[in-house]
Amino acid sequence: MQIYPIILAGGNGTRLWPLSRGSYPKQYLNLTGGQSLLQQTVMRAAALPDVAGPIVVANREQRFLATEQLHETGIAPLAVLLEPIGRNTAPAIAAAARTALEYSPDAMLLVLPSDHVIGNADVFAHVVSQAAKAADTGRMVTFGIEPDSPNTGYGYIGRGAPLAGLDGACAVDRFVEKPDLETAKALVADGRYLWNGGMFMMKASVFIEELGRCEPKLLAEAEMAWWHANRDGVYVFLDEMHFSACPSLSIDHAVMERTERAAVVAADQIGWSDIGSWSALADLASGDDGGNVAIGDVLAEGVSRSYIRAEHRMIAAVGVDDLVIVETADAVLVARRDRVQDVRKIVDALNASGRGESVVHRRVVRPWGSFEGIDRGDRFQVKRIVVNPSAQLSLQMHHHRAEHWIVVRGTALVTNGTQQLMLSENQSTYIPIGTTHRLSNPGKIPLELIEVQSGAYLGEDDIVRLEDTYGRACAE
């Protein structure tokens, strides 16, 4: 029996704003040291016995980010399925199950969110082994987490009778939606209820069969999105029309709460956290004598039970308690620890007002490198651009802006109209409005330059791509 890890990496992670944003959500962040949450998940799955390469489901806009992080792990994916729009977990898993069935009619799926922390990989492997035995009998297995508090942020799973001959696996008595506090206290006191950990194991064929019985329209549209997908190597660009037509349903609502095949294994002692809030992240770290967690350039005086994270500049805090303070280049969050779940309301307000701070950081990652806004005013904008060795931007032109490039490190090969220029440090070139141009790094070290834009309109969508190494459309 071979296990096919399904890594779900399409979430937005709004509860960890301002560090996690729409274009760079928490699964791609290094929050707990060493590697990103996505990389930790992929490597944890790869360490299991009898496991195939992962099938990763990601947002289409983050395909280069996902690919770069996968490449850094040295683990080659079987496929990277790219969603044109988020439709929750059931359609994503349906497309991934169809992919796994291409490789084996007996494919066993291990569905893992990419943004969870699991501290004990050995115990996790043991729980997966228990779940696999139950799933091999046709069960759809969910992983339950032994609760240590009446948390209202999680759903709960009620354990029924133990399944004969399947050590550690029980039938599911019922699923409980995220409860109010009094209900959560009663569930924890009952002793039969586990937190819903969002991890699943089942045969791909069983999932397809049960999804077709419970949600035939969802399955039909997800399979059509997969059949009509554009494919480029490991990339599977799911068809936008059919995928958008899928009902937006989680696997719990679509199947698990409605199937007679549901089972649960208790994932005790695996060191699980979904890092669902800044408080949850703070709980993973070791605090000082005052219960504070300080990351970055932080000075604290008379502070207790606070999480303070400085990404770009010093934070000084005096005489405060029970706070979360997070600083990025363009935003600062200050919240009481017991109100951090309301961060999503800030994100909703930013989205409603059309502001970009919910979506992008000041530093924006591109497949060729990155750019970062330094200054902006009426009719001008200044950026710092970094181009990776052997990478290049698209051949492009702009209708509304001119650009002035000044090299500060490395060597630039510039196409400027009909000219080909090689620029080194302290050299520059000017690109008039409407001129075809391209920037390349022929060297072995990162190319860094300052770009000064001037014109009536400076939006990122004023890009006409004539040729692109990465197959991108206008403003990607």
Which CATH number is correct for 363-467, 3.20.20.450, 2.60.120.10, 3.40.50.150, 2.115.10.20?
A: 2.60.120.10
Predicted local confidence at residue 168, as pLDDT: 87
**HEC string of 301-368?**
ECCECCEEEECCCCEEEECCECEEEEECCCCEEEEEHHHHHHHHHHHHHHHHHCCHHHCCCCEEEECC
CA 221 to chain centre: 24
Domain 3-273 sits in CATH 3.90.550.10? yes
Fold: same for 3-273 and 363-467:
no
Q: Count Cα neighbours of 427 within 13 Å in the Cβ-side half-sphere.
A: 11
Residues 20, 38, 266, 91: is their CA dihedral positive or negative? positive
Predicted local confidence at residue 153, as pLDDT: 84
Residue 252 near residue 207, CB atoms below 8 Å:
no
CA dist., res. 471 & res. 419, Å (int)? 24
DSSP 14: G
Domain ranges, ordered by start, for the chain: 3-273, 278-343, 363-467
Taking residues 413-425, report their average pLDDT.
96
Residues with Cβ within 8 Å of residue 291, at least 6 apart in sequence: 304, 305, 306
Look at residue 283 and tell me whether its pLDDT is greater than 80: yes
Closest alpha carbon to 54 in 36, 78, 82, 81: 78
The per-residue pLDDT for range 236-246, each reduced to its tens digit, is 999 999 999 99
The per-residue pLDDT for range 195-205, each reduced to its tens digit, is 999 999 999 99
DSSP 8: E
99 is written with which tokens?
A: 């992919």
How many Å is the Cα radius of gyration of the chain?
Answer: 24
CA dist., res. 69 & res. 35, Å (int)? 9
Predicted local confidence at residue 474, as pLDDT: 56
**447-455: strand order across its sheet:** 363-366, 369-377, 380-387, 447-455, 401-409, 428-431
The per-residue pLDDT for range 346-401, each reduced to its tens digit, is 999 999 999 889 988 888 888 899 999 899 899 999 999 999 999 999 999 999 99
Taking residues 260-274, report their average pLDDT.
92
Predicted local confidence at residue 459, as pLDDT: 87
CA dist., res. 368 & res. 64, Å (int)? 9
94, 179, 207, 254, 357 from 257: Cα distances, Å: 17, 16, 13, 7, 37
The per-residue pLDDT for range 203-252, each reduced to its tens digit, is 999 999 999 999 999 999 999 999 999 999 999 999 999 999 999 999 99
Predicted local confidence at residue 297, as pLDDT: 97
How confident is residue 343, by pLDDT bands cut at 50, 70 and 90? very high
